[in-house]
Amino acid sequence: MFVHIQVMSVTSKERTKARPLPLNTVELLRVGSSALGMSPQHTMQVAEKLYTQGYISYPRTETSSYPSSFDLASSLRFLAPSSEWGDLARGLLEAGLNKPRKGNDAGDHPPITPCLLATESQLGSEAWRLYDYICRHFIATISPDLHYLHKELSFWLGGHGEHSETGSGEIVGEFFTATGHSLISPGFTQAMPWLGLGPDSVLPDLVVGSQLPVKEVRMLERQTGPPNYLTEAELIGLMEKHGIGTDASIPVHINNICQRNYVTVESGRRLKPTSLGVVLIHGYQQIDPELSLPGMRAEVERQLGLIALGQADFRSVLDHALDIFKRKFHYFVENIAGMDELMEVSFSPLAASGKPHSRCGKCRRYMKYIQARPSRLHCPQCGDSYSLPPGGSLRTYRDLSCPLDHFELVLWVGGPGGGGGASRVEGGGAGTGRSFPLCPYCFNNPPFEGMNKGQGCPSCLHPSCPHGERALAVSRCGSCQTGLLLLDPISGPRWIFCCNRCPLSIRAFRNASRLTVLPAQAAASDMEDGTFGCARSSPSVCPTCEASLVRVEYPNSTPSPLLNSSPLHIGCMFCDSALSPLVESPSMRARLCSLPIFVFFKTDQLDGHWAVPPALVYGTYPASSQAIPESQLFKWYVPFLQGGGGSYSNQDISE
């Protein structure tokens, strides 16, 4: 039980709080919103009225430093008769003015100062409050700094307890610290009392060794919360920090977003984004994120500043800025459909009618599948929408997630003629639909250079993703010569290999229970589980055609079509004599056409057979340079492979 606290150390140090910088427009707008409850636009209107009536200096200035020639005493002298700040003004004139702090000299107008004495009855309530602040701020800039004593106490909160193991009584407790301040000289806070030290910050006078009884011990449970909405004053400060707008344009910008219903002004002058404002920003981020970030506008402002300093040419800056915004405008117009989709989802009953489908990688909540054209996935929590291929339908995909963004993968099934990649499955019926997995986020935001928007997992360049082209690719496509032939991992037992660039598909290894494309660096131990049909010099790549090897498994319950009825075989689906007959012959021809074409000239003959290299597949007869008829290609090529290829010597080979 705690019985007392004992002071262990007391440290005191005198500190100062600096007087404010001279008043510029941004600070006036910030204070008008936070302290006076006036919008930035209205603050400027009142300040301009005070200026035109001669009560204050020009209110549009970025300078926060008085010029060396500025007559501070004269500006202070006419405030001496005031019943509000006359005592402060007269005291400074008698004791001497303090040198103001040096702020930013923007080279425009001097800081905002009072020019003529006024009363509340002359100005009215609202204008008087702003005028009163300007006068008090001016007096504070030439007043002394605030001086205070910073005190820190270190104390022991202890008592007697019982040891958990021995049961013996011993001293237990904890060290704590407390800090506080005591006023030495109020300085400028006489003019601005709201910036002074609060009464709760003063600590009692204690010395080392002092003991005080403990009246109560409480442990409070709290939890963190999300940050609050920005106030107008905070927004003004951030705009100044990031270089967005000027003293003249900042209030206009804030007034515009209020009038256009992008934000609403809540209690405490906090700016709450509306649904329209949120959707607008999401649309900009989806189409061109730079348009919603501060850097672009700040760079324009920086270039304008260089023009003012004579360090940049006006015409060059103008042409450069116009060119950038013209290009961005045309790009935005070309991709405006993305904004239309977001607007439609947010301001129509489509979002309510969609059905939960797969999880969002950002909030882990279920996204809704909206089937109405254009179909998309929409996350009500985040407010984001993700486009899908046109045509076809969407299904869940084995509860797998993208390793990049953690969005759940979905399976897109394209119907005949659908945009999901309706394919020609040779030997399997024309017009059969193609299915492929995709990550909703990567489909709309390509994660790697070289990928295009609208590509699914079969085109992903992720080095280790089990759904990408590096894990499923067998060889180059023989039809388009640019795509890769990939295994469709969910097409079994009627296995299909599809090109990720063109509609070509190949059926192979019908009724196999499992089919796997071996990785580029497959371990030798993985090969030893079954019959290995290619040379072991490169364990996962065919030495003849450089295609990736495949691992084919058939169920033990049915007869295996492999050699010796083995249930398992590893080899090249094009060159291995045990596997190539199980691939449809028309597609085999397409694969053969993708390999190099050789032309041979008669130079030697061995045992009555023309000597040919193992890599020869399609092009010309070895002896006569005549084209091999398609009808003879397959029956000529397979026995050639089964024979292990021919031998050759002194032959001229041109590719």
- Contacts for 37-45: CB closer than 8 Å, 24+ residues apart: 37/269, 38/126, 38/130, 39/232, 39/251, 39/254, 39/255, 39/258, 39/265, 39/269, 40/232, 40/236, 40/250, 40/251, 40/254, 40/255, 41/251, 41/252, 41/254, 41/255, 43/130, 43/251, 44/251
Find where tokens 């090529």 sit.
Answer: 637
Tokens at 266, concatenated: 């809540």
Cβ contacts of 197-205, under 8 Å, gap ≥ 24? 197/146, 197/148, 203/151, 203/153, 203/178, 203/179
Cβ-proximal residues to 547 (8 Å cutoff; 6+ apart), any chain: 474, 475, 541, 572, 573, 574, 575
Whether the bond into 374 is cis, omega within 30 of 0: yes
What is the CA 345 to chain-centroid distance, rounded?
22
User: CB-hemisphere CA count at 13 Å for 55?
Assistant: 20
Does the annotation mark 58 as catalytic?
A: yes
Q: Which of 377, 340, 342, 338 is nearest to 360 (CA)?
A: 377
Exactly one of 58, 229, 366, 621 is catalytic; which is it?
A: 58
Beta strands across the sheet bearing 393-401 = 393-401, 408-413, 435-438
How far apart CA 293 and CA 277 sit, in angstroms, is: 14
Whether 138 contacts 178, CB under 8 Å: no
337 vs 345: CA distance, rounded Å = 12
Nearest to 10 by CA among 150, 175, 207, 280: 207
Show which residues are catalytic. 58
